[in-house]
Structure 1
Amino acid sequence: MNLMDITKILSLLQPEEEEDTDTGEKQALNQAVYDNDSYTLDQLLCQERYKRFINSRSGWGVPGTPLRLAASYGHLSCLQVLLAHGADVDSLDVKAQTPLFTAVSHGHLDCVRVLLEAGACPGGSIYNNCSPVLTAARDGSVAILQELLGHGAEANVKAKLPMWASNIALCSGPLYLAAVYGHLDCFRLLLLHGADPDYNCTDKGLLAHVPQPRTLLEVCLHHNCEPEYIQLLIDFGANIYLPSLPLDMTSKDDKGVALLLQARATPQSLLSQARLVIRRALHQASQPEAIDQLDIPSMLISYLKHQL
């Protein structure tokens, strides 16, 4: 954390500078949002005395803007009115959480869509340790995760943790959360959007502090994840020679272990390796959607998209 980060966090903790006589306008805006009264909210914001507080933080608990309040309750019409009147789509509360992060945390898909279409940063705030993608992966909100990734959110994002917490950081990615919480659809979606199946073994900064991290394959085996998780990691190019299987897990009766041992004994087909190369090239070029534009048979396009 640098000085700029500390300064920003301290500024968020500062109370609003407006006089106490202005609290009536803030309360009126918040009450209209709380009541999901978009008509009254629109009428208030047409008046300058109210509109100047459209981005002011207030309220009990975690003070936030009216937009954050609308996102937390899922009051879509109020959210749209606030945005139409120029509310800051990425305004922060005192925890450095954006309205998008709040909507994701509460599972309000429609609000997530509207905020993203209004230009909300799909990664949330750089000043917050978590991210919308991590939250959606943990909660199994596959539709919300699809929206975030479709708007350019980073599939390999990790929680922001100090270097002394390197062991925790290695187990903080979206793939890890989707696996340990049992959200197979989210796990597959992340891989389709370029999530690295070896993400916790490729970060040189972390590897300098944890030279022998537990791979995602090992994590899935340790948590007794369904064999589908193991197969997906193999299909998406995980390094199958990285895991060091404990003696008590090498029984072929374990379907996940059996899949891994079989993959080690049987080289991937040329077709499968070609798919990996093409997908990696497109993701490195930040053009994963270009798969649909390739001049190849539709069956091969479906294969590249893991739909066969």
Structure 2
Amino acid sequence: MRIVLLQSIRMNLMDIAKIFSLLQPDKEEEDTDMGEKQALSQAVYDNDSYTLDQLLCQERYKRFINSRSGWGVPGTPLRLAASYGHLRCLQVLLAHGADVDSLDVKAQTPLFTAVSHGHLDCVRVLLEAGACPGGSIYNNCSPVLTAARDGAAAILQELLGHGAEVNVKAKLPVWASNIASCSGPLYLAAVYGHLDCFRLLLLHGADPNYNCTDQSLLARVPRPRTLLEICLHHNCEPEYIQLLIDFGANIYLPSLSLDLNFQDYKGSALLLQARATPRSLLSQARLVIRRALFQARQPQALDQLDIPPVLISYLKHQL
């Protein structure tokens, strides 16, 4: 245990050193007058895309297009545009070659900032420009986790549609394994009451049993809690329990004790009914087909199957 802890500390220190090296300003920038950077930031702040475009046509300004500046959380002009939702300025910056995945001092990308502020149009533009849907590897959180927590279903759809990891987990040290195993998108969507996000995550292949698929992480947790247990514990609406059952959650994993105050809870009744009733052959076939396509990373192939449209709708949980 001590060796693992020392390795974790060493790796964390290496990550911190790497982050600081990435975020340090260039010596040339430190010795340069701040006027150009301030002019770019002011144009973005004023949502003046015309002035911004005129400035970036001049080399003396364009060389600072990816420079961080400003009070509070210094960031690039692109990050500033994403935080305010100034879409036209965002497009101008990208057209002039702004780094779509530039980092602020918290190692957050412009996409993460746009997601955090709920700017759907900016999220779409950034993703179409090639922004990493998972955000920065140096940040503990991710756009998917943020969207699931905030209930931003439209933003979550864009992220998942561009290949974001549906089973992403917060980056936490080894000693916080128990927390990490209960901090995934499905968990957040459930405890914050965002049923539309919960269903969307399951449709994109989220694991219905646990919040992560990292078996080494789960092995370090004395007793990892399933999503069914979490939903029961938080008295989530029965729809959450039914969705987990429909998407193939192992209904025998939760240790549901009848002496708890769950007897009158509709969610526990659904679980007990599922345990007493064998899953239909049609339901089992849907689970097998969906699982095979997701393992092959071809979920879009559902629409290409040579079967009646009503069965395709069933496979996509649209019935």
TM over 0.5: yes
Q: Is residue 2:147 matched to residue 1:131?
A: no
Name the structure 1 match of 2:62.
Answer: 51
Please list every run of at least 4 consecutive aligned residues from structure 1 whose deviation after the TM superposition is greater than 6 angstroms: none
Name the structure 2 match of 1:77.
Answer: 88
Tell me how large the CA RMSD over aligned residues is. Answer: 1.4
C-alpha separation in 2, matches of 1:42 and 1:86: 12
Q: Kindly indicate whether the alpha-carbon contact (under 8 Å) linking 1:12 and 1:94 is maintained by their aligned counterparts in 2.
A: no
Count of residue pairs the alignment pairs up: 308
Q: Is residue 2:34 matched to residue 1:23?
A: yes
Superposed CA deviations along residues 240-298 of structure 1, whole A, max 9, x for unmatched, are 00000144436442100000000000011000000000000000011101100000000
Name the structure 1 match of 2:245.
Answer: 234
Q: Kindly indicate whether the alpha-carbon contact (under 8 Å) linking 2:166 and 2:205 is maintained by their aligned counterparts in 1.
A: yes
Name the structure 1 match of 2:280.
Answer: 269
Amino acid at match of 2:19: I
Name the structure 1 match of 2:181.
Answer: 170
Q: Is residue 2:32 matched to residue 1:32?
A: no
Which deviates more from structure 2 when the two are superposed, residues 100-109 or residues 209-218?
Answer: 209-218
C-alpha separation in 1, matches of 2:255 and 2:16: 41
How far the C-alpha of 1:189 sits from its partner, in A, is: 0.1
Q: Is residue 2:21 matched to residue 1:7?
A: no
Q: 1:167 to 1:25 in 2, by over 3 A?
A: same
Q: Kindly indicate whether the alpha-carbon contact (under 8 Å) linking 2:184 and 2:212 is maintained by their aligned counterparts in 1.
A: no
Q: What runs of 5+ residues in structure 1 fail to find an aligned partner? A: none
Q: Counterpart of 2:33 in 1: which secondary structure? A: helix
Q: Kindly indicate whether the alpha-carbon contact (under 8 Å) linking 2:195 and 2:240 is maintained by their aligned counterparts in 1.
A: yes
Amino acid at match of 2:18: K
How far the C-alpha of 1:14 sits from its partner, in A, is: 2.4
How far the C-alpha of 1:213 sits from its partner, in A, is: 1.2
How far the C-alpha of 1:208 sits from its partner, in A, is: 2.4
How far the C-alpha of 1:22 sits from its partner, in A, is: 2.4
Superposed CA deviations along residues 78-108 of structure 1, whole A, max 9, x for unmatched, are 0000000000000001111000000000000
Q: Is residue 2:316 matched to residue 1:296?
A: no
Identical amino acids, percent of aligned pairs:
90
C-alpha separation in 2, matches of 1:149 and 1:267: 32
Which deviates more from structure 2 when the two are superposed, residues 159-168 or residues 194-203?
Answer: 194-203
Q: Counterpart of 1:242 in 2: which secondary structure? A: coil
Name the structure 1 match of 2:217.
Answer: 206
Name the structure 2 match of 1:196.
Answer: 207
Q: Among residues 92, 97, 106, which one is paired with 1:95 in the alignment?
A: 106
C-alpha separation in 1, matches of 2:212 and 2:108: 29
Q: 1:90 to 1:299 in 2, by over 3 A?
A: same
